[in-house]
Amino acid sequence: MADAVHNGTNGRDPNALVVEDLRVSVGDRQIVKGLNLTVRPGEVHAIMGPNGSGKSTLANTLMGNPAYTVDSGHAWLKGQDVLALETDERARLGIFLAFQYPTEIPGVSVENFLRLAYNSSKGTDLTPVEFRMMLWDKLEDLQMDRSFARRYVNENFSGGEKKRNEIMQMAVLEPSIAILDETDSGLDIDALRIVADGVNRLLEQNGDKMGVLIITHYQRLLNYIKPQFVHVLARGRIIKDGGPELALELEEKGYGPMLAALGVELPVEETANQSV
Ligand code: ADP
Ligand code: MG
């Protein structure tokens, strides 16, 4: 315990991602309004919420996107003050955010892209051959084809292939906390399965070291990957915490009844298109 106090964790689980009373603004509007969350290694958490509730704002803030201003609050991981770090330092600390709309990088293979990301995040200098050996092991674990690694990043990738790429990044970088912001409502069942199978495999192999935060409007992803903890975010606050049953309740009834029961009113522009 004395050590925990000395390294700044102050009694918090040093291996967990701990978010405390976080408030975030975009421009002059506060979007996240006092959010608390603890994700420990081995845990899968889902944050669900209506469109516009601040889910992506949370993810982007944790990764250090400069468009988001932290008004107050903290985020801790391994005794480090996450919000004081640059984005690349956060990645090295073990925070991973899957890119929702990754850009094409013509002429750069998945393998080379990942090797650069790996070497920079681990502070290593693996040669192409050394890296390839490691990558092939990971691909085998994930039951993915080696040929995929030779493709150019995101060039003509299908939705499913983009997801494979995301999972592969995660497998290679071995984050302490993996954040998957899955607002892409266009994901088909195959793509959902790829994400879920990948995450589940990584948890099996590396689960004692990795926490997962899945951010989603829709509950259907949660049919394939089972969170132990579900948090409902509305208007920048977590309005309800529970287990998987919360996600099922939202699937059945939508967000309306839960918000109404808790007295949460959505602004008019956020009430459109809130079906689950
Ligand atoms: P969610 O992911 O829950 O749908 P977001 O965090 O994307 O919600 O958005 C919450 C609110 O913040 C919305 O009103 C959105 O318009 C605004 N917002 C989020 N990110 C930006 C941004 N980069 N620029 C301007 N407004 C933003
Ligand atoms: Mg979003």
| Contact indicator for 181, 166 with CB cutoff of 8 Å | no
Minimum CA distance residue for ligand 1 atom 19: 57
**What pLDDT, in 10s, does the model give residues 92-103?**
999 998 765 556
Under the banding of pLDDT at 50, 70 and 90, the label for residue 148 is confident
- Is residue 55 over pLDDT 50? yes
26 lines ligand 1 (CB under 6 A): yes
- Going from the Cα of 53 to the center of ligand 1, the distance in angstroms, rounded, reads 8
Most confident of 119-133, 174-188, 218-232: 119-133
Any idea where the domains of the chain sit in the sequence? 9-102+176-271
The closest-lying atom of ligand 1 relative to the alpha carbon of residue 68 is 23
Cα–Cα nearest to 16, from 95, 115, 130, 92: 95
CA-to-CA distance for 30 and 236, rounded, in angstroms? 8
| Contact indicator for 58, 66 with CB cutoff of 8 Å | no
56 lines ligand 1 (CB under 6 A): yes
Minimum CA distance residue for ligand 1 atom 6: 54
182-200 burial code (b ≥16 CB/10 A, e <16): bbeeebeeebbbbbbbbbb
Does domain 9-102+176-271 fall into CATH 3.30.390.30? no
- Is residue 77 over pLDDT 80? yes
From residue 89, give the alpha-carbon distance in Å to each of 18, 70, 227.
17, 17, 28
Mean local confidence (pLDDT), 179-194: 76
Mean local confidence (pLDDT), 189-204: 85
CA-to-CA distance for 222 and 225, rounded, in angstroms? 5
**What pLDDT, in 10s, does the model give residues 1-24?**
444 444 456 777 889 999 999 999
pLDDT at 101: 53
pLDDT at 82: 97
Whole-structure pTM value: 0.89
pLDDT at 185: 59
The closest-lying atom of ligand 1 relative to the alpha carbon of residue 50 is 3
216 lines ligand 1 (CB under 6 A): no
Under the banding of pLDDT at 50, 70 and 90, the label for residue 42 is very high
- Going from the Cα of 68 to the center of ligand 1, the distance in angstroms, rounded, reads 10
Minimum CA distance residue for ligand 1 atom 26: 26
Site to substitute for ligand 1 among 25, 31, 213, most atoms within 8 A of C-beta = 31
- Is residue 32 over pLDDT 90? yes
- Going from the Cα of 192 to the center of ligand 1, the distance in angstroms, rounded, reads 24
CA-to-CA distance for 251 and 140, rounded, in angstroms? 35
pLDDT over 90, % of the chain? 52
By mean pLDDT, which of 112-116, 137-141, 186-190 is the weakest?
A: 186-190
- Going from the Cα of 57 to the center of ligand 2, the distance in angstroms, rounded, reads 7
Site to substitute for ligand 1 among 24, 25, 26, most atoms within 8 A of C-beta = 26
pLDDT at 5: 43
- Going from the Cα of 116 to the center of ligand 1, the distance in angstroms, rounded, reads 31
